[in-house]
Structure 1
Amino acid sequence: MRTQVAIVGAGPAGLVLSHLLHLRGIESVVVERRSREYVEKRVRAGVLEQGTVDLLRSIGVSDGLDRDGLPHHGIELLFDGVSHRVPLSDLSGGRAITIYGQQRVVSDLTEARLAAGGQIFFSADEVSVDVAVPRVSFTHDGQRVELDCDFIAGCDGFHGSCRDELPGATVYEREYPFAWLGILADVAPSNDELIYANTDRGFALLSLRSPTVSRLYLQVDPAEELAAWSDERVWDELQSRLAHDGWSLKEGPVLEKTITPMRSFVCEPMQHGRLFLAGDAAHIVPPTGAKGLNLAIHDVHVLASAMEDWYATGRSTGLDSYSATCLRRVWRVQHFSWWMTSMLHNFPGDDPFERRLQRSQLEYVVSSPAAATTLAENYVGLRWS
């Protein structure tokens, strides 16, 4: 087979890139190791920045988002038993976040690509990449496929193989000494906006996925076993950490329960020859700032524009500078996510000095318009250049 751009990975990054290229008249083929059912049901982040929402609307895949997405114009910071609202939109020129599950984004994009005649090979086995040719090889329905192309986009996630093809890449990584225990619950959200809680018992987050489904998280030790956390224990701990005057947490059946380790990770550069990494293949952020999906979408926005310029004019300026362009935003997001994580979580040892620093930072954020504005403009997403 032959195409212009071979894309490894049918997550948000790979599918958005394929659709962006299609709208620019550039052919692509997407190769995905998992089944379509698995990819579309995989529950991940559900907080979309303003820039991500604007892009999805601009490429015509926002019907579900506009119908079912839940715009949020603020978040709450809870500490010392008192909740403080940060008015995101008021502090960021009207920009907002929208709650819309990643699995919904993936499903919408998959339908759009297939409706436009796009090729997506789900359940591909033995996927390998040859940057020198360039070529992506894989087995599908028992047949070996050699897919020659002009460029390869590695959108295959943190555990994918494309990153292994970057010789001499520098890796920056930090493992955090805690994890998130997350539940999906069949109960209406207990609050109209997200609540981030810093408590002596550890961090907690009240989020949501729809008007009838809640998403909640607890800070736990990364060595914790799910079997140790009965539904009753989870709800008891959530009740304790999220409690504050004049408010109560609604409980309901737990639909899903997971424990997710937390890390920061960056691979530099994000390109080698005709191979370009995007999304989790190149960088991971802790989920505290809700940035992973949004950062991936920005990557492919930059890459699609650079490829369009190359096909239209032969200029390689955008492709040559792809990694440097993306990494400027990657490191800004890394810092914001680290800052949110450090401000809200308990670290091992229960260091009283660290706790006092956290308290000082939280008090400053909720009392200083300048500090609150810094949080707001990073949380809704810095404007795309």
Structure 2
Amino acid sequence: MTTPTSPPATHGLLGPAPARCLVLCLVSTAATGAGLLLPAALGRTLDLLLAQAPATRWVLGCAALVLLIALLDAAETVLGGTLDARTTAWLRRRLTGHVLAVGPRATARFGPGDLVARLVGNAAQAGTAPAARAALLAALAGPVGGVVALGLISPWLAAVFLAGAPVLALLLRAFARDTRECVTRYQEVQGRMAQALSEAVGGHRTIRAAGTEDRETARVLRPLPELSEAGHRMWRVQGRASGRSVAVAPLLQLGVVAVAGLLLARHRITVGEVLAASRYAVLAAGVGVLVGQLSGLARAGAAAGRLDEVLAEPAVEHGDRRLPPGPGRLELRGVTALRGARAVLDGVDLVVPGGTTLAVVGRSGSGKSLLAAVAGRLADPDRGEVLLDGVPLRELAHDELRRSIGYAFERPALLGGTVEE
């Protein structure tokens, strides 16, 4: 027998389209590089204009940089959008195929509503991870390049900024940790609500007949306060991080500008370099961009974790045996099936001769549906085995198993063809 395996949902750091991701990374970095060149060019142009020297070429160069930045930003937007869409589609195909390979055990563990929430919402969030990682490199290049540029203008300017940089680093670390925790909780509550709604939709006839619509509505909406609290906590974490960074970053920028003013007064730098230094201080303190990128990565990482939980479920194993000619004798030997810690079926021995019509009757929750699922291998028993004409169902090839056993559910869906087919 072979056991199919599934790669993690994230499919590596670059996702299922590594070439497109690398191009996006290059375009984002190039846009950041052009943004780092612009303050220096503006400063040089200002010095030439103040000195009444020819500056036409520098003015045109600044205009060209502005145009290049606009074009690169547009390309980054298009590449990021298409990469998100392709990654999301790949994740959904992968998850759907794996759920089908796992079979009913997936819905038994996670529930159809939770699976739909993971397939629709979490896959879309996890699909943004490769583009977010590519953009994060550019977001990091901005502050690092800004500090390097300050050092090139004057080591004193870089020293002033670096004196407060550890505070910014601590803020970002705390933000990333807190965001991951509250995002994970938010997504888990979403899944529970989706599962409750799915159960209500599936049993709507019974609910209507019993007149319990209000009670079921309250059950579905019961986790709503918890969802609201988790959502508010996410915004509080992001607001707190942004507020602290807004308080620290301007102080660093003000310190850089103040030192630049002193250096200008001592004729150690020019007016244009003061202009460039002020712009580089803004780039170096670009915590707001990093907060946004880290927030997106935290959401994508939490969503990818929920997808990996499903993909970690082993797919159903099949053998390669064929059924011998026989009447279709079904036999259960010591079958035990657990749901949670409870043994719904406990040591069941049953023989159903070929050509027999058998009805299983019992109260709700007694294991009727589970017995039917085990009999046709829509579910596997935890102990014991099921045989068809003397062959264990686990050893049958997939096609042989499904040709030999058919199911008619309460509300069948005909996927093409007729009832007879």
TM-score range, shorter chain: under 0.3
Is the strand fraction higher in 1 or 2? Answer: 1
> Which of 1 and 2 has greater Rg?
2
Normalising by structure 1, what TM-score?
Answer: 0.23
Is the helix fraction higher in 1 or 2? Answer: 2
Normalising by structure 2, what TM-score?
Answer: 0.22
